[in-house]
Amino acid sequence: MITLSSIDKIFNENTPQEFKALKNINLEIKNGETIILSGVSGSGKSTLLSIIASLDRPSNGMVNVNGELVSKLPDYHASLYRSKEIGFIFQHFNLLESLTVEDNILAPLIPLNIDILEAKKMVNKAMKKAHIEHKASQTIRALSGGEKQRCAIARALVREPNIIICDEPTANLDKENSLKFIEILHQLNLENKTIIVATHDSLFQNLDFNSRLIYMEDGVIL
């Protein structure tokens, strides 16, 4: 489903501050597979996620998703690819604090001009999957950290993406809420979603469902 071929990512190229964040990354990720990218901060995990999601482009190499060369997409087509294929769960949630849970989850549907009744059904379905439907009318600022994460999960799922990308998703959660998050990932794994998680949380190293652990260090896969 996802093929990364000879990926390099260089920041500040050809300057005294040049930094090579990724070095000759080659990786194949199958449809429905759960991948755990493990490594300390600065190992290149988040950069790799951004390139898979077409939020950034590699300096060298190619990213192919379902037969489409996404690493060369112009910005507009890259945004279409993300809206169709990618659900992104961020470390700091990136929610709109003054809006309700329901409105935050509804927001990604607005550009699609979906009928409001259909959009509401999609939002309710996503909230149920993330176990946050009981907080639908609450503003984000009134939620706990675990509840904010579940809202972020529902927002990532509302468009029914095939690929779920998580960047340090439990960094701001306690152990109890981290385990709840992992259980939601387990359910998504059973639905044959392709899941890619970048983390240094040891809870992800012995999951009780099928997953592949990949270690990164200094921009390379070990």
Partnered with residue 64 across adjacent β-strands are: 3, 69
Total tally of structural domains belonging to the chain: 1
Asked if the structure places residue 120 within a domain, the reply is no
Q: Note whether residue 102 is domain-resident.
A: no
Q: How far, in Å, CA of 157 to CA of 175, rounded?
A: 23
Residue 114 lies in a domain: no
| Residues 197/204, Cβ–Cβ less than 8 Å | yes
Q: Which residues contact 43 (CB under 8 A, 6 or more apart)?
A: 216, 217, 218, 219
SS3 content of the chain, % helix, strand, coil (to 5): 40, 25, 35
132 within a domain of the structure (yes/no): no
HSE of 153, CA atoms in CB hemisphere, 13 A: 28
Judge residue 29's burial from the number of C-beta atoms within 10 Å of its C-beta, 0-12 exposed, 13-18 middle, 19 or more buried: buried
Q: Write the CATH number for 78.
A: 3.40.50.300
Beta carbons of 50 and 79 less than 8 angstroms apart: no
- Evaluate whether residue 170 is within a structural domain: yes
CB 195 within 8 A of CB 35: yes
Specify if 84 maps to a domain.
Answer: yes
Q: What is the pLDDT along the chain (222 residues), one digit of tens a residue?
A: 899 999 999 999 889 999 999 999 999 999 999 999 999 988 999 999 999 999 999 999 999 999 999 998 999 999 989 988 999 998 888 999 999 999 999 999 988 888 999 999 999 999 999 999 999 999 999 999 999 999 999 999 999 999 999 999 999 899 999 999 999 999 999 999 999 999 999 999 889 899 999 999 999 999
Residue 101 maps to a domain = no
In a domain, 49, yes or no: yes
pTM value? 0.93
Contact between 165 and 53 (Cβ < 8 Å): yes
Contact 47, 196 (CB under 8 A): no
Domain hosting 200: range is 2-95+145-221
